[in-house]
Structure formats: structure tokens, C-alpha cells
């Protein structure tokens, strides 16, 4: 890597459903804790679709997207010692220092070094709006990695990128979802939503010996889970999913529920309208509306509250964006529900996950991606992922 900026290709945001591959200047080392990584594989995340559809008021035209990258280290700053040029690394989506009070607690998403205080938010994220620091993302040929003295995860040579790239977000998120679900030994868990996070949450829960009931309405997603030996329910086949699950569990409901849907949930026409409306408002007004009004589609969360047995636990891992969403507090209190939620603390779980990637791939990570595209086809990848066309469940981009 040169000490001057050299043009390279990156996926950039230009408006609702408008992403492009633009030529941008390479980032160079700015701080002694930086590293420069040449990206070999990067992914489109379901959270990226929030930018594609809803969160335009918080992003600027030309911002570089993406937060699930891996690649080869090209250069490191003087304070980066655990990786070196030539190393193969995965980059966690959150930027954390590894040594502050919150990082010491394993809460890397709350890192006090990178918290975006002017927005009242937690740790900065790659490629994710003003709310999280507006840091250039990893759907690019090169990426400057701040706090590289802690963040990058060194992985071995040999297995293909697909074995490791999900350590950036998907696998730790699914792992934390199961951890937070608090499923008792030999217990049961419902997984709502079978996108990538839901798929791996179901696989991890099944790997631990739990009974897993997975719910979705997209045929390809249901079939993918069914091939893993997971019980599935198609919402289109049942008038009341919660009743169906109670019928399957002795009338109680499952011990735990993982909401892997968030504000992508189907239904709730009023909230759908509110989300759509923000796309037609001036940015300043739309930002205020989204910050203060409840524009989420809460069907999945309400369903989780209905499904979970009394005294059970809900693990909320799907992303919600509004701050004034109504919650059925009486029902939650009466059912004595425990609720855990939050962005995943990636590096907290890496040591638990890595053996499963190195010892026979029991989660069947390889082969999970439904589409592998060159970086220049990123707009097509976003479109089919958003529209759930061509069986798109997970899209990898390869610069």
C-alpha cells in the first residue's frame, strides 16, 4: 500500500434502492492503531437493507456501505502488533478498543473509546450511517480499520473465505442470540425469521441439543432450515402461529423465543406506511420522526411475547429503529417474561465459535451463501436480496 491515495472500487449509497459501485480514494494509515486490509470477501447483511430502504435520513450520498468483510492485511500502524502485513483477517462490524471499561466487561458494542456520543449511540460501526459514526464500510477493495490493535480476527490459511467471513457479524450474532435466549438443558426455542441470523441461530440451538421450531414465510428459507433437520412452520399455513406452537409444546409455548426479524417483519400496515412516509420527508423532519415516533413493525415481537411460555425468555436480536414503539407491558409482566437484547459483542464469542469452524464444520457454514458475485454486481445483489428473488438468502461479494 502506498502512502498516497490510490483509486479503488467501493459500494456507495445514493438514495433509496440506489447503490452504486464508485471509484473512491484508498484510505491510508491515519493513526498508529490503524490497519489497511485488502478485501477478498464481503457480504450484504439484512441490516444493509435498512439503509437501502428506510434509514436514508441518516446517511449521505457517496457513503461506503458494508460491515461484514475479510481480507489480507496490507499495512499496519506502529501500535498494531497482533497482526502484520500478509495476515488473513476477519473484521468485526463494530469498532472497539478492547481496553476500556465496557470492553473489559465484554460489551464491545458499548466501547467508550468509539461511542458515537453526539448521536447518543454505542460503538461506531463500519458502513452504517451517522448514528454509528459514518465510518467507511467494507464493501470495497480496501478498508481502513481503526482500532486494529484489537479488532481484526486472525484466521488460518487453507479453508475458503466462506468458512470465516461470517465471524464478522452473522455467527457471533446468532451465537449471542442463543446465549441470551437462556434455553434450559433439553429445552425448546422458537426462532422467528429465517434470514441468515435466524438460520444460524437455529443451527446453533440444534447443535446444543435444543428442540428448535423455526418460523418464516419464504419457501427457500423454510426449505434451507428443513434440510438441517429443524422443525419449520410456514406462517401462511396457520391462522395463529402461537396457537400452533402451543399445540406442539403441551399447551405452554417454547421455553425461549429468538426474534431474528426486527423491523423487517411482515404485516402492520400502519407501521409500513410510517416507514414509507419517512422516505418522502425532508431529511431533518424524517430523522426526528424516526427517532421519536414508533415506525417499527412490531408483529414479530408481539408474536414472540405470545409464543414464549410463562416465565420464559425472549432474545431480541433483530434490529429495531423507533424509540416510541408501544409495548404490551401488562402481558409481559403477567407472563413474567425475561427480555434480553442488543447488538452482538463480536469478539466475546469468537473463541467459542472458532472450534466449530475448524473441526468438521458442523454448522455447515461452507455452502451457506446462495449467491457469490463480483463487487461490480453489488446493485444486483442488493436488489435480489431485498426482493427475496432468485432464492437469495445470503449474498457474498468478491472484489
* Residue 96: how many other CB atoms lie within 10 Å: 28
Least confident of 55-59, 100-104, 246-250: 55-59
What's the whole-number mean pLDDT along residues 378-388? 94
DSSP reduced 3-state for 199: helix
pTM of the model: 0.89
Average pLDDT over residues 261-268: 52
The C-alpha atoms of residue 199 and residue 221 are separated, in whole angstroms, by 8
78 is a domain residue: yes
Tell me the average pLDDT of the chain: 89
The residue out of 341, 356, 378 marking a domain boundary is 341
> Among residues 43, 134, 90, which one has the least CA distance to residue 375?
43
Please indicate, yes or no, whether residues 214 and 280 belong to a single structural domain of this protein: yes
Asked if the structure places residue 325 within a domain, the reply is yes
Buried b (16+ CB within 10 A) or exposed e, 357-367: beeeeebebee
| pLDDT tens-place string over residues 294-310 | 444 578 888 999 999 99
Does residue 60 lie within any of the structural domains?
yes
Same domain, 298 and 251: yes
What average pLDDT score do residues 182-205 get? 97
35 neighbors 145 (Cβ within 8 angstroms) = yes
Q: Are residues 327 and 354 both part of a single domain?
A: no
Integer Cα distance of 242 and 208 in angstroms: 24
CB-count burial class (<10 Å; 0-12, 13-18, 19+) for 351: exposed
- The domain that holds 230 is classified in CATH as 3.40.50.720
Per-residue pLDDT, 325: 60
Weakest mean pLDDT among 1-15, 86-100, 159-173, 175-189: 1-15
| Number of residues written out for the chain | 399
pLDDT digits (tens, 9 = 90+) for 7-46: 789 999 999 899 999 999 877 899 999 999 999 999 999 8
Segment 254-268 mean pLDDT: 73
pLDDT over threshold 50, residue 268: no
d(CA 311, CA 334): 9
In this structure, the answer to whether residues 92 and 198 fall within a common structural domain is no
Please write down the long-range contacts of 281-285, taking CB distance under 8 Å and 24 or more positions apart. Answer: 281/57, 283/56, 283/57, 284/57
Task: Tell me which of 88 and 53 has the higher pLDDT.
Answer: 88
Asked whether residue 1 is domain-assigned, the answer is no
**H or E element in which residue 5 lies:** none
Q: Final residue of a domain: which of 292, 321, 341?
A: 341
pLDDT at 28: 87
Q: Considering the domain boundaries, does residue 114 fall inside one?
A: yes
Percent residues over pLDDT 90 in the chain: 75
* Segment 110-158, tens digit of pLDDT: 999 999 999 999 999 999 888 899 999 999 999 999 999 999 999 999 9
pLDDT of amino acid 224: 97
- pLDDT level of residue 323 (50, 70, 90 thresholds): low
- Longest CA–CA span in the chain (Å) reads 66
pLDDT digits (tens, 9 = 90+) for 69-108: 999 999 999 999 999 999 999 999 999 999 999 999 999 9
Q: Cell 452504517 belongs to which residue?
A: 128
Domain boundary among 315, 341, 367: 341
Are residue 289 and residue 378 in the same domain, yes or no?
A: no
Overall domain count for the chain: 2
Please indicate, yes or no, whether residues 17 and 163 belong to a single structural domain of this protein. Answer: yes
Model confidence at 292, pLDDT cuts 50, 70, 90, reads very low
Query: Has residue 2 been placed in a domain?
Result: no
Domain co-membership, 41 together with 148: yes
| pLDDT at residue 282 greater than cutoff 80 | no
What's residue 332's pLDDT? 83
Whether residue 368 contacts residue 162, with contact meaning beta carbons closer than 8 Å, is answered with yes
Judgement on whether residues 159 and 191 belong to the same structural domain of the protein:
no
Query: 230 is in which domain, residue-wise?
Result: 171-341
The verdict on 111 and 256 lying in the same domain is no
Give the pLDDT confidence score for residue 295 in this predicted structure. Answer: 42
* pLDDT value of position 266: 40
- CATH number, domain at 112? 3.90.180.10
pLDDT of 265 > 70? The answer is no
Nearest to 316 by CA among 115, 127, 308: 308
Average pLDDT over residues 221-227: 97
Residues 177 and 141 in one domain: no
pLDDT at 273 over 90: no
Instruction: Specify whether 188 is located in the same domain as 332.
Output: yes
Is residue 310 located within the same domain as residue 220? Answer: yes
Say whether pLDDT at 267 is over 70.
no
Instruction: Note whether residue 334 is domain-resident.
Output: yes
Amino acid at each position: 500500500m502506498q502512502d498516497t491515495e490510490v483509486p479503488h472500487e467501493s459500494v456507495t449509497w445514493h438514495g433509496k434502492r440506489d447503490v452504486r459501485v464508485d471509484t473512491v480514494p484508498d484510505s491510508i494509515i491515519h493513526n498508529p492503531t490503524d490497519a489497511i486490509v485488502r478485501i477478498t470477501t464481503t457480504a450484504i447483511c439484512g441490516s444493509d437493507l435498512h439503509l437501502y430502504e428506510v434509514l436514508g435520513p441518516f446517511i449521505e450520498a457517496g457513503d461506503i456501505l458494508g460491515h461484514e468483510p475479510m481480507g489480507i492485511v496490507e499495512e499496519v500502524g506502529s501500535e498494531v502488533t497482533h497482526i502484520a502485513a500478509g495476515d488473513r483477517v476477519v473484521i468485526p462490524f463494530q469498532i472497539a478498543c478492547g481496553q476500556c471499561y465496557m470492553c473489559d466487561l465484554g460489551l464491545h458494542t458499548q466501547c467508550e473509546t468509539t461511542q458515537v456520543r453526539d448521536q447518543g449511540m454505542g460503538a461506531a460501526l463500519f458502513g452504517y450511517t451517522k448514528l454509528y459514526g459514518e465510518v467507511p464500510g467494507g464493501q470495497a477493495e480496501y478498508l481502513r480499520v481503526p482500532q486494529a490493535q484489537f479488532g481484526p480476527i486472525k484466521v488460518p490459511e487453507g479453508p475458503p473465505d466462506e468458512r470465516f467471513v461470517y465471524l464478522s457479524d452473522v455467527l457471533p450474532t446468532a451465537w449471542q442470540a442463543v446465549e441470551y435466549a437462556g434455553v434450559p438443558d433439553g429445552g425448546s426455542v422458537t426462532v422467528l425469521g429465517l434470514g441468515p441470523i435466524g438460520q444460524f441461530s437455529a443451527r446453533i440451538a440444534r447443535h446444543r441439543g435444543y428442540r428448535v421450531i423455526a418460523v418464516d414465510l419464504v419457501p427457500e428459507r423454510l426449505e434451507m432450515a428443513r434440510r438441517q433437520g429443524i422443525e419449520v412452520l410456514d406462517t401462511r399455513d396457520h391462522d395463529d402461529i402461537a396457537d400452533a406452537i402451543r399445540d406442539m409444546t403441551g399447551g405452554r409455548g417454547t421455553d425461549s423465543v429468538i426474534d431474528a426479524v426486527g423491523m423487517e417483519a411482515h404485516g402492520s400496515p400502519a407501521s409500513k406506511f410510517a416507514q414509507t412516509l419517512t422516505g418522502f420527508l425532508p431529511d431533518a423532519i424524517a430523522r426526528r420522526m424516526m427517532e421519536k415516533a414508533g415506525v417499527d413493525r412490531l408483529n414479530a415481537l408481539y408474536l414472540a411475547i405470545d409464543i414464549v411460555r410463562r416465565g420464559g425468555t425472549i432474545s431480541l436480536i433483530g434490529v429495531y429503529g423507533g424509540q416510541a414503539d408501544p409495548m404490551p407491558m401488562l402481558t409481559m409482566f403477567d407472563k413474567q417474561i425475561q427480555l434480553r437484547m442488543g447488538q452482538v459483542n463480536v469478539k466475546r464469542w469468537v473463541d467459542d465459535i472458532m472450534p466449530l469452524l475448524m473441526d468438521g464444520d458442523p454448522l455447515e457454514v461452507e455452502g451457506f451463501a446462495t449467491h457469490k458475485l463480483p463487487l461490480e454486481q453489488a446493485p444486483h445483489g442488493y436488489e435480489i436480496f431485498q426482493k427475496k428473488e432468485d432464492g437469495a438468502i445470503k449474498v457474498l461479494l468478491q472484489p
